[in-house]
Homo-oligomer: A and B are copies of this chain.
Amino acid sequence: MIGILIVSHSKALAEGAVEVAKQMADERLPIKAVGGLDDGSIGTDAVRIMEGLYSVYTEEGVLVFVDLGSSVLSTQMAMDLLGDEKMKSNIHIVNAPIVEGSIVAALQASIEDPIESVIEEAENAWKMNKL
């Protein structure tokens, strides 16, 4: 099963997004939150993200959802820190809204969609209509 990592500047946001996405997910789905800095303040930390990547890693791949631009940079740095090209090539930062994208991905990954389809569905969450 695909792994999902939710990366935010805020610990509460990342953990809350995981909490909501889990409602849609198979209980076996590896899904974790990495948010904020070690002292609980706002920010992103490449080492903590790297640990998060290890914790949800599966051979089928990992999808990462981020809040803002600098989360992307920290995640890319975390992928470099892995020091493992094969593992790195299995990790994809998804260009999707963090909450809506991860909800869709949790649902699609749970029904064992191939990773390319899950990415596409999550990216389509940009076009979601709520009203």
Nearest-CB residue, chain B, relative to A72 = B130
List B contacts of A14 (CB < 8 A). 16
A67 to B98, CA, bound (A): 11
Which positions 97-131 of chain A face chain B at CB distance < 8 Å? 97-100, 103, 125-131
Q: Which of B15, B42, B68, B129 contacts A103 (CB 8 A)?
A: B68
Assembly stoichiometry (copies): 2
B9 touches A20 (CB 8 A): yes
List B contacts of A97 (CB < 8 A). 97-100, 125-126, 128
For the complex formed, measure the closest distance between the CB of A120 and the CB atoms of chain B, giving whole angstroms: 15
List B contacts of A5 (CB < 8 A). none
Which positions 40-89 of chain A face chain B at CB distance < 8 Å? 42, 66-69, 72
Q: Which of B20, B93, B126, B128 contacts A131 (CB 8 A)?
A: B93
For the complex formed, measure the closest distance between the CB of A82 and the CB atoms of chain B, giving whole angstroms: 19
List B contacts of A129 (CB < 8 A). 95
For the complex formed, measure the closest distance between the CB of A6 and the CB atoms of chain B, giving whole angstroms: 10
